[in-house]
Structure 1
C-alpha cells in the first residue's frame, strides 16, 4: 500500500469538500443578499481575504440559484470546524427571521 498516494488522495478529497463548503456558504449568502466576504471578516477579523472564496465568488453565476437550508449551512460549517463563521451565520439567520 502506497501511504504517500493515500495521503495525497485524502488531502485532495478534503480540499474538494472544503471548496464545496465555500460554494454552499457563498450561495447561502447570495440567497439572503448578504456579503460573504463581510461575514467571513466578522468571523475571522485577523485573517486576510480568503483566496478560495474570492475565486468562487468570481465564478458564481446568477443562474446558480440553489436554496441552502439554514440548518444545513450551520451543519456544514461546523463539520469543517468553522465554529466562528457558524456563529456569525447563526446571528444573521436570527436577524433574517426577525425581519
Structure 2
C-alpha cells in the first residue's frame, strides 16, 4: 500500500468511525425522547445543517427496538471525537431527566 492509498484508507476509517459516533448519539437521543437534529443545532447554532446526521437518522430504530445506550457511553464517544459542545448539551439533557 503506497502513501496515497494509506492516507485514503485512514480518511475512510475516520469517516466510518465518525458515522458510528453520530449513530450512537442519534440512537441515544431517540431512546431518551430527544430530537437529535434539534439538540445538535442547540450545541452548534452557527453551523450549517449536518448532512451526516440526516444520513444516519435513516439507520436509527424506534426506542422500543433499540438496545439501551448508557449515558456515559454516548458522552465518551462524543468526547473522543472532540464534540465537547454536543457532549455538554447531552449532559444537560441527562441532568434534566434525573430531576
Please indicate, yes or no, whether the TM-score normalized by the shorter chain is above 0.5: yes
Could you tell me how far 1:3 is from its partner in structure 2?
A: 0.7
Q: Which residue in the other structure is 1:60 paired with?
A: 60
Question: 8 Å contact 2:23–2:59 — kept in the other structure?
Answer: no
Could you tell me how far 1:64 is from its partner in structure 2?
A: 4.9
Structure 1 unaligned blocks of 5 or more: none
| Equivalent residues, number | 98
Q: Which residue in the other structure is 2:38 paired with?
A: 38
Q: Which residue in the other structure is 1:49 paired with?
A: 49
When normalised by structure 1's length, the TM-score is 0.92
Map Cα deviations across residues 40-81 of structure 1 (whole Å, 9 max, x no partner): 001100011111101111332337512110011100000000
Name the Cα RMSD after superposition: 1.3
Runs (4+) of structure 1 moved beyond 3 Å? none
Which stretch shifts more, 12-21 or 58-67? Answer: 58-67
Classify the secondary structure of the residue corresponding to 1:66.
coil
